[in-house]
């Protein structure tokens, strides 16, 4: 049912003045006896009326009120938002691991879209997008002034179509132009492989409802194919987070007991605690967790739990610092409200919010750089030195140890942080064997 502008204003104002209407109480959530902000409510109705009467183009009541709702939530923090029915459906699809778009987790910073993390094996990752990139233009549309939802809508489109992004990146002289071909994004949450004999590697790109089950299957497979595992690298770099149950399940997989994470907020139902159950899938074998500035939310929960319990060594660089909990609340008229209701805390009571997780060992990706334009570069060794003694043994081809060393040399150039994690794992495994 439609009503006139004057009627809408009178209804709102009547509620404020204190008639029989209770709209204002609903708007303010029945503020537990506190006085209603009468002047602000009068200002709202005045602005509403002026827009309806004087704005250069006619705006519907529905559109204006939706803008008001979005602005009310956007003003709270970067993560609270109003979701219409379409946006709510897209959010639910995203948590299952398949959706359309570029393949980046984004937020807002200073009016621009900030890349929290590119998702593995997506167009954005292949195009070279990096955590921390600021997107200032989408095709010919400036991002400044857009809401995050509006920007996301522009980034989504028909698979195969090209979107041109103008990006500001720290360390570059000027804006970068990045062309990305849209695609249907199918995210594989867990990937695994062996780094070396008896040392496994798990990569979690984001946390979905099925992540824990996939992780347990991957570990079981590696243990069966390699007759056990001496250690594991859990790679959470550029993992923007996801569902809480995934983070709790992954943490529980490596812990026998104790708290994993707790949340604290104003309401009693926002005060939650999650504890580990008995059973360490690695049976105490060493664990190294890799993190960086793109590791956020659920990733930080896992890293914090492992660190506080002394279950793993956290290696890499400081994490993103997204330690707030968003609750999705359905609305009777359709859509939902994504509202920040509490904060995450590690088992030792550390707040993740705006602080992140400091790694036990800080290692930057560029710690080892191959010289430019030298694809045949090899590290300096004893045999490289002038006058070095030759080896008098018969050359029977590379031994197993030499083959492993060659793989590790490649890892130095491909992923120095992972190379360091593997070396650390080997040291921990030797220490465990000596003290076990």
pLDDT tens track for 344-380: 999 999 999 989 999 999 998 754 434 344 444 344 3
Q: CB–CB of 187/205 below 8 Å?
A: yes
**Binning pLDDT at 50, 70 and 90, where does residue 48 land?**
very high
pLDDT at res. 100: 66
CB-based contacts of 291, cutoff 8 Å, min separation 6: 236, 237, 299, 300, 303, 314, 315, 316, 317, 319, 357, 359
Catalytic residue flag (residue 399):
no
Domain boundaries, the chain: 5-59, 98-186, 190-326+337-362
The reported pLDDT for the residue numbered 188 is: 80
Active-site option among 297, 299, 317, 324: 297
Convert the pLDDT of each residue in 320-349 to its tens digit. Answer: 999 998 889 999 989 999 999 999 999 999
Q: Given 2.40.10.120, 2.30.42.10, 3.90.550.10, 1.10.10.10, which CATH number is that of 98-186?
A: 2.30.42.10
Clarify whether 297 is annotated catalytic: yes
Q: What CATH class has 190-326+337-362?
A: alpha beta
Q: Does the annotation count 308 as an active-site position?
A: yes
Confidence band for 385, pLDDT divided at 50, 70 and 90:
very low
Region 222-245: what's the mean pLDDT?
A: 94
Angle between helices 298-308 and 244-254 (to 10 degrees): 20
Q: Name the pTM for this structure.
A: 0.73
| Cβ-defined contacts of 391-395 (< 8 Å, 24+) | none
- Annotated catalytic residue: which of 114, 322, 338, 426? 322
pLDDT category, 96, cuts 50, 70, 90? low
Same fold, 98-186 and 190-326+337-362: no
Q: Residue 387 — very low, low, confident or very high, per pLDDT cuts 50/70/90?
A: very low
Catalytic residue among 308, 324, 338, 426: 308
């Amino acid at each position: 049912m439609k009503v006139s502008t004057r009627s809408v204003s009178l209804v709102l104002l009547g509620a404020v003045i204190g008639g029989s209407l209770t709209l204002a109480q609903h708007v303010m959530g029945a503020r537990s006896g506190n006085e209603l902000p009468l002047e602000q409510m009068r200002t709202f109705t005045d602005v509403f009326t002026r827009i309806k009467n004087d704005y250069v183009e006619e705006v519907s009541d529905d559109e204006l009120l939706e803008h008001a709702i979005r602005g009310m939530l956007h003003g709270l923090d970067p993560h609270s938002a109003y979701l219409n029915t379409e946006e709510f459906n897209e959010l639910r699809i995203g948590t299952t691991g398949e959706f359309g778009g570029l393949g980046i987790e984004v937020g807002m910073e200073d009016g621009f879209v900030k890349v929290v993390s590119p998702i593995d094996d997506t167009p954005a990752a292949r195009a070279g997008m990096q955590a921390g990139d600021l997107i200032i233009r989408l095709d010919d549309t400036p991002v400044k002034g857009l809401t995050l939802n509006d920007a996301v809508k522009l980034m989504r489109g028909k698979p195969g179509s090209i979107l041109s992004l103008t990006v500001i990146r720290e360390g570059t002289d000027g804006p970068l132009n990045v062309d990305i071909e849209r695609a249907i994004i199918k995210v594989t949450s867990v990937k695994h492989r062996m780094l070396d004999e008896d040392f496994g590697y798990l990569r979690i790109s984001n946390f979905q409802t099925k992540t824990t089950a996939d992780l347990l299957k991957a570990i079981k497979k590696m243990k069966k194919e390699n007759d056990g595992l001496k250690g594991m690298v859990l790679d959470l770099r550029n993992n923007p987070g996801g569902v809480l149950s995934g983070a709790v399940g992954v943490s529980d997989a490596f812990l026998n007991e104790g708290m994993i994470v707790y949340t604290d907020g104003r309401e009693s139902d926002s005060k939650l605690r999650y504890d580990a159950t008995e059973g360490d899938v690695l049976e105490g074998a060493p664990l190294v967790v890799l993190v960086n500035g793109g590791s956020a939310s659920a990733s930080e929960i896992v890293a914090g739990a492992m660190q506080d319990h002394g279950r793993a060594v956290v290696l890499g660089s400081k994490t993103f610092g997204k330690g707030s909990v968003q609750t999705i609340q359905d609305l009777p008229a359709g859509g939902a409200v994504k509202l920040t209701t509490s904060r995450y805390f590690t088992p030792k009571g550390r707040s993740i919010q705006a602080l992140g997780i400091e790694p036990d060992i800080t290692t930057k990706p560029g710690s080892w750089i191959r010289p430019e334009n030298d694809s045949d570069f090899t590290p300096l060794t004893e045999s490289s030195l002038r006058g070095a003694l030759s080896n008098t043994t018969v050359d029977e081809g590379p031994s197993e140890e030499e083959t492993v060393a060659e793989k590790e040399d490649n890892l130095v150039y491909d992923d120095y942080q992972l190379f360091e994690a593997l070396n650390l794992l080997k040291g921990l495994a030797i220490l465990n064997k000596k003290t076990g």
